[in-house]
Structures are given as C-alpha cells and as structure tokens.
Amino acid sequence: MTRPHASVELRARYAETDQMGIVYHSHYLVWCEVGRTDYMRRLGMAYTVLERDGMRLAVSEASLRFHAPARYDDLVRVETSVRDVRSRTVTFDYRIVHADTGTKLVTASTTLVSLDTTGKPVAFSPAFRERMLDGIPA
C-alpha cells in the first residue's frame, strides 16, 4: 500500500478454520475490523473515545476478494488504509497477506457511516475528516 497505513499481525486460530483447515470466509471481516480499530487507535481516535463523544461508526458496505487461502496457524498481516472520506462516510481498504511469504490472501473494503447516539446519520466534524485524510504519520 502506498497510502499511509497501519499493519497488524494475527495468527489464524483453529476455531476460524473449516474442516479442511482453511480460514472460513467470514473471519476475514473480523480481521478487517481488527485492522480498522488498530488504524483508528494509531490516529488517536480509538472507538471508545469516539463513542464517548457521541459518534458511532456503522458498517454500511463490505466487499472481499479472495486470492489465496489462509490456513490454520498461519501468521497473517492486515494492512489498513483510508481510501475516501466524505461528509458522512469513510471507506477503508485492506490487504491481508501471509506474513512470512508476502502472498496476497484477500483484498477488501468497508464503508462506514457516521451516526449519532440515536442512530441517525450525521456529518463528520472537519477535524475528524482532516485527521482521517492525513492518515497515520510515517
């Protein structure tokens, strides 16, 4: 990824695999969430802080493309970056690779919408948008 991004490593757990020892497809979305929350935390905007301040971020769209399987006990790296920030939505891109070989396993994206505490869409503050667009300092 050439945009500012955060990387986090995870090990594929037995409970995340199917009978063939391959990571079941839905678990990649969980791994994307791990990457996204780590990215936000590194920006100084942990979800706990956002929620305390009255902001909720709800996934409104998710997309996954599978390139190769992860297997039980594989060490994987989730690379997360911000693709786009609009008035009420932010889109994250993910690249999940085998940490040891660099093999691309999955590319994914999620779009999250900003909600207030009653669940109504609300615009991001200018400071939030700016911080998201600037990304994580190198």
Show Cβ contacts of residue 10 under 8 Å, excluding neighbours closer than 6 positions: 31, 34, 75, 76, 77, 78
User: What is the distance between the alpha carbons of residues 8 and 45, in angstroms, rounded to a whole number?
Assistant: 17
Annotated catalytic residues are 18
